[in-house]
């Protein structure tokens, strides 16, 4: 099972191994033992990855999740 964590006021954290396909069809590989940090705030200049801009923007995202 894939485990995705929502960092408080930060990115989605997803443990590898995994593959991410960008909008152009490029496959970005995250190796086992590595963690991908995917932008959750929308401010990253390196989407889909987090580049730390959530901190500079003082983005808040710590609400509890709701079961879909
Ligand atoms: S979550 Fe870090 S830049 Fe968006």
How confident is the model over 2-44, as pLDDT tens digits? 899 999 999 999 999 999 999 999 999 999 999 999 999 999 9
**Does residue 64 sit within a domain?**
no
The closest alpha carbon to 20, from 42, 48, 44, 1, belongs to 48
Each residue's pLDDT tens digit, 34-56: 999 999 999 999 999 999 999 99
Ligand 1 contact via 44 beta carbon (within 6 Å)? yes
Structural domain range at position 20:
4-56
Q: In what order do the strands lie in the sheet with 12-15?
A: 4-6, 12-15, 35-38
Dist. CA 28 → ligand 1 center (Å): 18
40 Cβ below 6 A of ligand 1: yes
Structural domain contains residue 51: yes
Asked if residue 68 belongs to a domain, the reply is: no
Position 20 in a domain: yes
36 Cβ below 6 A of ligand 1: no
Report the nearest atom of ligand 1 relative to the CA of 11: 1
């Amino acid at each position: 099972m894939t485990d995705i964590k929502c960092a408080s006021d930060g990115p989605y954290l997803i443990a590898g191994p995994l593959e991410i396909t960008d909008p152009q069809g490029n496959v970005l590989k995250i190796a086992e033992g590595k963690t991908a940090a995917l932008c959750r705030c929308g401010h990253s200049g390196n989407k889909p990855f987090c580049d730390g801009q959530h901190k500079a923007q003082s983005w808040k995202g710590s609400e509890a999740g709701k079961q879909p």
